[in-house]
Structure 1
Amino acid sequence: MQVTRDQRHKPRITASYRIETPLDIEQAAVAMAGEQSSGTFLRLEGETDELRERHAARVESVVRLETVATPSLSGALPGKHYACAAITLSWPLENIGTSLPNLLATILGNLTELRELSGIRLTDITLPNDFINAFAGPQFSINGTRRLTGVANGPLIGTIIKPSVGLSPEATADLVKQLVEAGIDFIKDDELIADPPYSPLAKRVPAVMRVIEEHAQHTGRKPMYAFNITGDIDEMRQRHDLVRDHGGTCVMASVNWIGMASLVGLRRHSELPIHGHRNGWGMFYRHPQIGMSYRAYQVLLRLAGADHLHVNGLGSKFAESNGSVIDSASACLTPLQEGSSRDDRAMPVFSSAQTIHQAHATFAALQSTDLIYTCGGGIMGHPHGAAAGCRSIHAAWQAATRGVALEDYAKEEPDLAVALRAFRRPFSG
């Protein structure tokens, strides 16, 4: 079928995939395009040439990769072997409009269940400006986060309230007092605590903010606390207002469980930065032949309005490779539109067993300090206490940005010297 010049110049959404199939790869690509646009298992009377020209998905490219002997996923058509390929499809924006849920239904949706595929992974998305501009995107991004915390340069050094569960509002506030006095820039609730009976937000928010406001009055510096407001959309709006009304400067949500539409709704309501916690992310990335890459995932979350996004950390306790972590952080720092005046970057959040040891490698790989570096045990587990832990992490990052080895920098930084003995190496390389 010939595509007219008019259709060629209409805005299109492009998605890239890694697939595995027992079929000829071109045949599999056509099946994908048909399933996710005008096609079905037979040609229907209403499926005119004009309709197909206007609305059909197109196969933009097919690149053959390796061949494997056994299928990665069950339920696929049987075959003698299974070919892997990089596939790119595109759809007219007209099919979807500017809707994140319907975008996902189109570019992933039923593709995950096709018998023609024994593997399907979304690897990237390219969206037309008309789609991007329909969303407000991050409200505060990096510059707004720096303004609110008073940290003009370097990473924001942060931590997580531990133990994760069980602390009363008063006990949480006592711990926050220690941390803000220690010089912390950023504190967050754990994802396991939102509004439980033992520590309801209505009590935890005022208790914590009294401590932070008193600290700000004495020092002129107000650390950021990300309160976990995860819930249904009405609950999140109410919890956001509670945080705002007590002088809070950040809210947090578990983005995989509230869903894209709820994140968009929260962004429309929010007057505070939204800290996007990605717990559950392992379901998307741990098998190479299913799910989606973080490059595709973070585009959706930034459009929906997340100002900060978790990316794991180097040498962490989790399964993700160091290369994947850095690629994820780099993606968050890459504007969605070249040359746009709008800052739609998200601040990457490094976490999971981060200590003084990962600072050099993180800076060398990312070549940026536009990040939040959260350390739990790396701060709280310092032998001389949380204040010394904070100073040691700040010193490690100063050494990294100045190109000085930790051991050499530690000669002038006693807290760093102690941390070098206490934290010998990351969990993994």
Structure 2
Amino acid sequence: MSTNRIEADYLLETPGDPRRVAEFMAGEQSSGTFVPVPGETPELKARAAARVIRLDVLDESAPAPALPSAGLKVTAETKFRRALVTLSWPFEILGPSLPNLLATVAGNLFELKPVTGLRLLDIRLPAEFADAYLGPGFGIAGTRRLSGVEGRPLIGTIIKPSVGLNPRETADLVAELCRAGIDFIKDDELQADGPACPFDERVAEVMRVINAHADRTGKKPMYAFNLTGDLDEMRHRHDTLLQHGATCMMASLNSVGLAGMIALRRFAQLPIHAHRNGWGYLTRHPMLGWSYIAWQKIWRLAGVDHMHVNGIGNKFAEDDESCIASARACLTPMFAGKPCTVMPVFSSAQTARQAPATYNGLGSVDLIVTAGGGIMAHPLGAAAGVEAMVDAWQAALAGIPLPDYAQSRPSLKRALEMAA
């Protein structure tokens, strides 16, 4: 039997006694319920119950609850106190099951009446989880091998317009990007298998262009086709990609779900580019849901190879510090002997201008940067957009200010003017 335990860190808000509420959380998510039951003996609790192993009450308090809670008696004097809480579960009760782990660390806790705010900050898992799940099949090394890109980030883009192009029009755009020297292209998450652009036809047309370009030049850009669907659909689409020589596939995490991603990884013979669309409803409120630090660990174990982390100066609500922390987490090993590291993907309103801040913040070249409008909307065309991104990253890696580097590089100069 394992002597290890599962641990989860939370930020808790409550109008009650934080210690008492933390104990209530531990009971609710293990052997207890809302009233004592005869079978919950001291011996059983010692063997099976969750424990509160950390409780740090924070100085901060709020005059109003972060989240509504029916039935709470609140007066003008009520203070909503916050605390950092760590719960610990015996491994033997749960076993190495990711779906059941979610029910344990992120289940009914969020609905408890005395909890007016709860955010899952991090999780730590016994090595048995690493043994039970495949983890990334390609990761950073495999992505670099298939793309042929070493020593720098992969420069990528998203097909824009996101939807509306037919398979031949998509392939024509891909041909232009191939000529420009792009490393990575992806479907937008909205582009799936609709009648206007069927998946099988899109794959055939796009891979015809990519394979021909690879035959001429020796460089084969990686294209992440969106195969999101039910399991039978994803298996068919995966096999279609193999038949046409594709080197990547994309799936939307929140759409296919954890069990779907685990199943996809079991038959996957290509890197899995994991899109996090819908992430906002899990994290947008600072006192509810998940931190990315905890969330990404689940999907890395499930077997994805790339994970979106937003981007510096993005168009969404996330700040730059959070984005960099998410990317660093993707590059941080999870287990001794099985690091499960994945390639972070920077996206959302990325342009040449963000290259220095991204590199300086992350301190690594192991990333994919996908600039949709930042490449496709370049005033001199998509090829110039690719060239500008490559130039910007060359400047960032060399420590040369972008305006200085742009003096002899017209594409970069125009990109900086556009992004100003």
Taking structure 2 as the reference length, what is the TM-score of the superposition?
Answer: 0.97
Secondary structure of the equivalent of 1:87? Answer: strand
User: Residue in 1 aligned with 2:132?
Assistant: 134
Residue 315 of structure 2 aligns with which residue?
317
- What residue is the counterpart of 1:62 in the other structure? 55
Residue 266 of structure 1, CA deviation: 0.2
Name the SS of the counterpart of 2:132 in structure 1.
coil
Between the aligned partners of 1:413 and 1:30, the Cα distance in structure 2 is 62
Separation in 1 of the partners of 2:73 and 2:320?
36
For residues 6 and 235 of structure 2, the distance between their equivalents in structure 1, rounded to whole angstroms, comes to 32
- Aligned 8 A contact 1:22 1:78 in 2: no
Residue 187 of structure 1 deviates from its aligned partner by 0.3
Listed as ranges, the matches of 1:267-278 within 5 Å are 267-278=265-276
Letter of the 1:74 partner, please give it.
P
Q: CA RMSD in A?
A: 1.1
User: Per the alignment, do residues 28 and 325 of structure 1 end up closer, same or farther by CA in structure 2, a change over 3 Å counting?
Assistant: same
1:385 aligns with 2:387: no
Residue 103 of structure 2: aligned partner: 105
Displacement after TM superposition at 1:343 (Å): 4.4
CA deviations over 1:291-319 (Å, ceiling 9, x no partner) = 00000000001001110000010101100
Aligned to 2:67: 73
Provide the residue aligned with 2:81 in structure 1: 83
CA contact (8 A) 2:182 2:386 kept: yes
Query: Helix, strand or coil: the match of 2:149?
Result: coil
Q: What's the counterpart of residue 363 of structure 1? A: 359
CA contact (8 A) 2:96 2:129 kept: yes
Identity of aligned residues (%): 58
5+ residue gaps, structure 2:
none
Shift of the alpha carbon at 1:196? 0.7
Counterpart Cα distance in 1 of 2:66 and 2:282 = 15
Deviation at 1:378, TM superposition (A): 1.1
Q: What amino acid maps onto 1:47 in structure 2? A: E
Contact 1:255–1:276 (8 Å) recurs in 2: yes
Q: Is the 8 A contact 1:311 1:349 kept in 2?
A: yes
Determine if contact 2:69/2:114 at 8 Å carries over to the other structure.
no
Give matches, 1:49-198, under 5 Å: 49-65=42-58, 66-75=60-69, 77-79=72-74, 80-198=78-196
Q: Give the superposition deviation at 1:214.
A: 0.1
- Aligned residue in 2 for 1:399: 395
- The one-letter code sitting in structure 2 at the alignment partner of 1:423 is A
After the TM superposition, which segments of 4 or more aligned residues of structure 1 sit over 3 Å from their partners?
Answer: none
Q: Secondary structure at the match of 1:244?
A: helix
2:335 partner amino acid: Q
Question: Across the two proteins, how many residue pairs are aligned to each other?
Answer: 415
The CA distance in 2 between the partners of 1:10 and 1:318, in whole Å, is 43
Q: What is the alpha-carbon distance in structure 1 between the residues aligned to residue 339 and residue 405 of structure 2?
A: 35
Aligned residue among 400, 406, 409 for 1:410: 406
Question: How far, CA to CA, are the matches of 1:404 and 1:317 in structure 2?
Answer: 26
The residue that corresponds to 1:427 in the other structure is: none
SS in 2 for 1:357: helix
TM-score by length of 1: 0.95
Say whether the 8 Å CA contact 2:332–2:339 is kept in structure 1. no
Q: How far apart in 1 are the matches of 2:394 and 2:242? A: 33
Deviation (angstroms), 1:408:
1.1
Correspondence list, 1:2-17, <5 A: 10-17=3-10
User: Counterparts of 1:143 and 1:412 in 2: how far apart (Å)?
Assistant: 34
Unaligned runs of 5+ in 1: 1-5, 425-429
In 1, Cα distance between the equivalents of 2:232 and 2:101? 24
Local SS of the residue matching 1:359: helix
Report Cα offsets for 1:341-362 as digits up to 9, x if no partner. Answer: x341110000011111100000
Q: 1: CA distance between counterparts of 2:363 and 2:325?
A: 12
Aligned AA (2:375): I
Do the aligned partners of 1:295 and 1:328 also contact (CA within 8 Å) in 2? yes
